[in-house]
Structure 1
Amino acid sequence: MQEDLLTKSGVADVLGTNPMRVTRFIERNEINTVKKEGKRELFKLTQFNALKEELNAPEAKKDAQSHSFSKDDYILTLKQQLKEQQQQYEQVIESKDETISSLKETIATSQKSYDDMKDQLAVKDNQITSLTKLTNNAQTLNMVDKDPKRIQAAHGDAERSNEKTSSSDETDDSTKKPPKKHWWPWSR
């Protein structure tokens, strides 16, 4: 009699279905356990003849096939997901590489612009130096073209005005006013 008694999973194995379907059949048809051994509930296989017929029906087979997931299906699904993740990862890497290339091009362009501006500044500095030299030469030529007597007179006037300021500093001591006397020293 022990051989006829099976657990839910044992019934599922014999009928070729999953234990959840056996559990739902038990609840739906209110099948009672024949014997309990601890937590294990034992059933007679004959109690599941209706389930066996239900499973052998063509509609049930199609339904079972559409809802069942074999290990191979699960592995194929996981492989497909991994492949999709790998493609996404490769796209992200490619996008980052494109961004890096674009930034390198921008840096190269900026460096070229900077070098061009440096060259232009050097040209400007050379032009300023040349203009300063030309201005000095023009002033020198202008001075040479003037009457040498006027140049000497201008130099002489400049020297005399320098002498006057130094001599007037010496002679101004006599023309200075005496210091003003205040009343408070006498109040003592």
Structure 2
Amino acid sequence: MKVISIATSFVAFLASKASGAHVQKLPECSLKQSSPCTCAAPSYYFETVALGVIGATIGDVRALINDFYDTYWYAHETPIKKIGPDNTVGSIRTFREPTGDLSEQLMVYKIGQDGSFTQRYQQYIDPAAAANGTKPTFYVTMKGKNVFQNETLVAIETYGCWTGPAPTLAESHEQGIQNAIDILRAGGKLTGITPTNFISTSFPKAAPF
């Protein structure tokens, strides 16, 4: 029910965007303005969400995926450079990508008393620009919440300004969650029910002309 409720709310939000009401007098996208928001041309507003239930305890899921510098679980990729202490707001990780180095700065890192967690980071092309924090680009938020004793809801959400063709981030995030499931299964940590499907969507489906 919780997964359905989140997805329903998100679909309703996308429907409101389709009406065109979201394009009038909205603030610029920033860390404080999660959505809806506007982007300066030639960039455009883009968002995705991917939801999955992992049949493992919140503690086991958090130990695997909630380390800012330990990202091997997601796409078998690790940072080539790290600036600042791990899991500390303001720290920066940099990855070597085919199109150039990509850096991400940790903006939010919270763990609740019930074990739930939230991690949000901001993407940058140039690591030197991250410390200034004056030109936000694109944000990724990863959340984990206990559903039952051995089931954990994981959500990976994105929003912000994008330039170029619309990416397939929802598919990438689904694969990341599946990688976490496979690792936990191999380690004998998958003790609960793990559905075989995910819920995901994105807006827009293609870049504006």
Q: TM-score, normalised by structure 2?
A: 0.19
Larger relative helix fraction = 1
* RCO comparison, higher one (Cα < 8 Å, 6+): 2
Compare CA radii of gyration and give the structure with the larger one.
1
